[in-house]
Amino acid sequence: MNEIGTASSSWAIEARGLTKLFGDHHALRGVDLRVSKGERLVIFGPNGAGKTTLLKILSTLAKPSAGSVWLDGIDIRNKPAQTRRHISLVSHQTFLYDDLTVYENLKFYGKMYDVPDLPQQIKTVISWVRLESRLHDRVSTLSRGLQQRASIARAVLHNPSILLLDEPEVGLDPHASTMLRDVLGNINSGNRTVMMTTHDLERGLELGDRVIILDRGRIVYQAHKHEIDTANFRRVYDQYTVID
Amino acid sequence: MNDKHVLRSNVLSGLGLVLMIAALYMVFIYVPTEKHTGVVQRIFYFHVSIAWVSFLAFFITFIFSILYLWKRTMRWDAIAHASAEAGIIFTTLVLITGPIWAKPVWGVWWTWDARLTTSLVLWLIYIAYLLVRAYATEPARGARFGAVIGIVGFIDVPIVFLVVNLWRTQHPTTIIFEGGLTTSMLLALLVSIAAFTTLYVLLVFQSACLKSMEADIKYLRSVQAE
Amino acid sequence: MKSLFIKIFAIFWKDLLTELRTKEVVTSVLVFALLVIVIFNFAFSTGASMPELVAPGVLWVAIAFGGVLGFNHIFTVEKGNSRLEGLMLCPVDRAVIYWGKLAGSITFILAVSLVITPIFLALFNLPLLLPLLALVIVLAALGFATVGTLFSAVAINTRARDIMLPILFLPITVPVIASAIKVTALILAGSPWNEMLIWLQIIIAFDIIYLVVSTLVFEFVIEE
């Protein structure tokens, strides 16, 4: 079922027939997706819908059981290492080393990504997430909200063209959550494609240009923001994610 | 199991049965009693045959582990796994028949000679292989880990043999036979090896088929449930 | 090529920094190795009038078992905050992660060995300056580290991960342990160089073989 085809590089992300099996559980069942460059796509869905699995496959952390993915036109099976330069993942795990300082963490990831002019770039991203005062503190001393901001700094350090966010607001108090939204606004300069999964219908609708609902491994709803009645979206969501 | 499988299974069973009866006849009746060590020596034919199969089994696991990592065909993983399960049974038998032979002949239950020690280490590597598969967090991971151990472990076996062999040359070697094997003994040995090898192939074949079927059922259930 | 080296060193450096700040691994393993030696002294002192006979075995048991304890940490430190996934997101071949971790493992076991050995020699009243012994330790440490790093990655993804690593590690490293013990015995007995050569060659062969095999096989271990 694996298609070896070509994709045009006009799409930032293209996925065809993505399927993922864990043992005997189908996490994803034939997902087709196309994301334009610079588009902001938001994915809603209940727990177990496959949102995290989808992002893991798109970020090359997991291999699909079937289907293909192209990032900026490159098939991730061909050049997995190279495609990873184009993407970045923010999840509720920070990927940061607790016993190292924020600066040391960024330096490490900067080296791994061959970031040019690293010290300057670190300064830049730190100013975006407004963590200048805590730059040389150990990550373990930061609150969860600040750690998440540091994680975002890590994510944009290498200037990825595609930013993937997996429920980034989880575990953040409302104040930190607002900060997060501001930070996402800050870093989104340029033509960065953003794909975010979230439970927060309101915030998601604020952020996204296009909305998808994923349920039990399938896309059950797709619409552009201007087509959506944001006030009543909750009803739409419930309608498409019927609970057994 | 389709008809081809059933046919293959029956042929193997039949062949195995014939060979085993022949082997039993040859070992217990046809071959003369060895003059130095007596009746107990007859276990040698079984011991060597079983030892041969135990190493063959790990070699098969090694080959199919590589193939599985290369092509990811589930069937090949099933064969690697089945071969390891058969292999550990045979290795356990080696470790049992060894002392049974050694005690009356040399007066000791165990000698740390190259062959027995290597069999013991092989047994431990088999255990590691099976445990890794059993304790992996998911079956797919278990298959991959097993394949890695199958490869890494098999490469180790000749090195272990070499080391233990070198180690033991500092000690007096135990003499297996004075004089060589007569033709009748050689014949009995070959028949015995053939019999046990056929038994091994049958075991692996049945076991691998079963594993494949189990995997298919799981998959069908998952598709049906959703 | 230089870029590869920078990345391997980056991984090594961050592990080193972490260990220096937490001091989790090296100190506890050192204490453990020392305890092994002490207990073995009681195990063997009832009959052994010639400590040189048992000494090599005791040393290498202490190093091997201490090593196994420590190797567990190589990848468990990457468990928190999903850091292993963070590493896997980086645009590098998986083998680079292996080599970065390997550098840390080698340093760890060398540190433990080179500290525990003089203590061991003193406790057994053996001469303290033995450059050949240092050579064996380096070669054997490399062998332990290649296998230990690979299996650490396997073990973290299994249940019963603490017991899984010794079960995997010890049978495979039998050739290294045995050869190291042999060479150590020969060194302590003052034997000529050519007697030791074959054993050293075995360890070197083991090192090279497993360096290559582990590098090739590592990606299959950490992919999801």
B63 assigned to some structural domain: yes
What is the spatial distance between Cα B43 and Cα B31, in angstroms, rounded to a whole number?
12
User: Where residue B169 falls among pLDDT bands split at 50, 70, 90?
Assistant: low
Please tell me the total count of domains within chain B: 1
What is the spatial distance between Cα A92 and Cα A155, in angstroms, rounded to a whole number?
13
B137 touches chain A (CB under 8 A): no
Q: Contacts of residue B219 in chain A, CB cutoff 8 Å? A: 21, 24
CA A73, A75, A79, A85: dihedral to nearest 10 degrees?
50
What is the reported pLDDT for B127? 94
In the sheet with A25-36, reading across from the earlier edge strand, the strands are: A25-36, A11-22, A66-71, A74-75
C151, pLDDT greater than 80: yes
Residues counted in chain B: 226
Distance from CA of C17 to the nearest CA of A (A): 7
The per-residue pLDDT of chain A, averaged, comes to 86
Tell me if residue A2 falls in helix, strand or coil: coil
- Mean pLDDT, residues C145-164: 92
Structure tokens at B134: 């059993």
Best of A24, A53, A63, A216 to disrupt the B interface (most B CBs within 10 Å) is: A24
The secondary structure of C178-201 as a DSSP string is: HHHHHHHHHHHTT--HHHHHHHHH
- ipTM value of the model? 0.89
A120 assigned to some structural domain: yes
Size of interface B-C (CB pairs under 8 A): 83
The verdict on a CB contact (< 8 Å) between B222 and A29 is: no
A2 assigned to some structural domain: no
Burial bucket for residue A114 (CB in 10 Å: 0-12, 13-18, 19+): middle
CATH of the domain at A32: 3.40.50.300
Contact in structure between C45 and C54 (CB atoms under 8 Å): no
Q: Contacts of residue C150 in chain B, CB cutoff 8 Å? A: 148, 152
Distance from CA of B141 to the nearest CA of C (A): 7
Per-residue model confidence as pLDDT tens digits over A178-198: 777 777 777 666 678 899 998
What is the spatial distance between Cα C48 and Cα C54, in angstroms, rounded to a whole number?
8
Please tell me the total count of domains within chain A: 1
Q: Which residue has the higher pLDDT, A85 or B26?
A: A85
Contact in structure between B91 and B126 (CB atoms under 8 Å): yes
Q: Contacts of residue A154 in chain C, CB cutoff 8 Å? A: 86
B39, pLDDT greater than 60: yes
C50 touches chain A (CB under 8 A): no
What is the spatial distance between Cα B107 and Cα A55, in angstroms, rounded to a whole number?
66
Q: What is the DSSP letter of A101?
A: B
B143 assigned to some structural domain: yes
What is the reported pLDDT for A6? 55
Partner residue facing C89 (CB), from A61, A98, A100: A61
What is the reported pLDDT for A157? 93
B226 touches chain A (CB under 8 A): yes
Q: Contacts of residue A22 in chain B, CB cutoff 8 Å? A: 138, 140
The verdict on a CB contact (< 8 Å) between C224 and A62 is: yes
The verdict on a CB contact (< 8 Å) between C90 and A109 is: yes
B159 touches chain C (CB under 8 A): yes
Angle at B223 between CA C220 and CA A25, to 5 degrees: 45
User: Where residue C199 falls among pLDDT bands split at 50, 70, 90?
Assistant: very high
Domain that holds residue A201: 11-240
The verdict on a CB contact (< 8 Å) between C172 and B135 is: no
By C-alpha distance, which of A87, A91, A184, A172 is closest to A130?
A184
Domain that holds residue B83: 40-173+183-225
CA A108, A112, A113, A114: dihedral to nearest 10 degrees?
90
A88 touches chain C (CB under 8 A): yes
The verdict on a CB contact (< 8 Å) between B166 and C174 is: no
A114 touches chain C (CB under 8 A): yes
A4 assigned to some structural domain: no
Question: Which residues lie closer than 8 Å to B222 by C-beta, 6 or more apart?
Answer: A21, A23, A24, A25, A26
What is the reported pLDDT for B5? 80
What is the spatial distance between Cα B121 and Cα B165, in angstroms, rounded to a whole number?
14
B219 touches chain A (CB under 8 A): yes
Partner residue facing B147 (CB), from C178, C205, C220: C220
Contact in structure between C172 and C145 (CB atoms under 8 Å): no
Which of A131-145, A213-227, C157-171 is predicted least confidently?
A: A213-227
Per-residue model confidence as pLDDT tens digits over C34-79: 888 888 877 776 655 666 778 899 899 999 999 999 998 899 889 8
Angle at B8 between CA B7 and CA B13, to 5 degrees: 100
Q: Contacts of residue B128 in chain C, CB cutoff 8 Å? A: 167-168, 171-172
Dihedral sign computed on CA atoms, order A203, A207, A210, A216: negative
Distance from CA of B219 to the nearest CA of C (A): 19
Q: Contacts of residue C98 in chain B, CB cutoff 8 Å? A: none
Which of B143-157, C74-88, C163-177 is predicted least confidently?
A: C74-88
The per-residue pLDDT of chain C, averaged, comes to 90
> What percentage of chain C exceeds 90 in pLDDT?
56
Contact in structure between A200 and A232 (CB atoms under 8 Å): no
- Mean pLDDT, residues A81-107: 92
C106, pLDDT greater than 90: yes
Q: Please state, in angstroms and as integers, the Cα–Cα distance from residue B125 to each residue in A19, A224, B118, following that order.
A: 35, 57, 10
